[in-house]
Structure 1
Amino acid sequence: MRNSPSHRATLWRSSLCLLAVLAAGCDSRDTPQPPASAGTIGNAERGQRLLAQFQCGACHQIPQVPAARSHVGPSLAHMGKQSYIAGQFPNQPETLVRWIVDPQSMQPGTAMPAMGVSPDQARDMAAYLYGLP
């Protein structure tokens, strides 16, 4: 019987299974998660110094980083609130670290150069950027 309790229960279970399958197949870009808190990534104070040392301000605006007032690349003022890195990668700490270390490996031909930043240095830079208000 189509309206019996057992039929409704079967439909309910089938619907839940379908939702689970659809959710599992979603691309992570569909629902970006907010980045981890800055303290769990690296040392934000060191990251601020590294952003100046590697002259990231030659292309980006970065609050409280000396000489970081350029408009060549995007502003990094609200990095922690952005959904994507480079417009296509979900904004997650390890993704940002990979991007800072070797952007060409993620997006060949991007204007962002590899600057010789180590993964540990990139974690500190990411901590600073994610900690900006």
Structure 2
Amino acid sequence: MTGACGESRPPLSPPALAAGKGLDADPARGRRLIAERGCVACHTVTGVRGPASNVGPPLHELWRQAYLAGVLPNTSDDLVRWLLDPPAINPRTAMPATGLQKADAEDIAAFLLSPDGARGRAP
């Protein structure tokens, strides 16, 4: 169906439940970083307090999605790449460059790609 709309992305299945497990990262720290870095100013994240916002998409159950930001296959590596510099991947994104260090992005990705993270707790 996406072919009829001019889309050229191949269909993907959602990633495996263990998507965040491939990272040597700390999902509990990732949850803290989401709060500290103000991600909830634009995104809702289960288990992280913040204002009601719908500027960016909600980030709960991210591990179930086939694509990240509508353009990248949903893998741990691609989420880390996105978190490090969203405009480098999609210049039209409203998400600014984050200034994250790679270890920070890996921790955030481990939390977001974990089914436990979707329930608001670090695995």
> Under a length normalisation based on structure 2, what TM-score does the superposition of the two structures give?
0.78
Contact between 2:14 and 2:63, CA under 8 Å: does it hold in 1? Answer: no
**1:40 equivalent among 22, 42, 52:** 22
Separation (CA, whole Å) in 2 of partners of 1:81 and 1:68: 24
Q: Which runs of 4+ in 1 moved over 3 A?
A: none
Matched, 1:110 2:93: yes
Letter in 1 for 2:57: P
Does the CA-based 8 Å contact 1:101-1:114 persist in structure 2?
Answer: yes
Pick aligned residue for 1:49 from 32, 52, 61: 32
8 Å Cα contact 1:104-1:110 kept in structure 2: yes
Equivalents in 2 of 1:30, 1:67: separation in Å? 34
Question: RCO (CA 8 Å, sep 6+): is it higher in 1 or 2?
Answer: 2
Instruction: Determine helix, strand or coil for the equivalent of 1:30.
Output: coil
| Long gaps (5+) in structure 1 | 1-26
Bigger fraction of residues in helix: 1
Tell me how large the CA RMSD over aligned residues is: 1.9
Unaligned ranges ≥5, structure 2: 1-7
Number of the residue aligned with 1:19? none
- For normalisation by structure 1, the TM-score amounts to 0.73
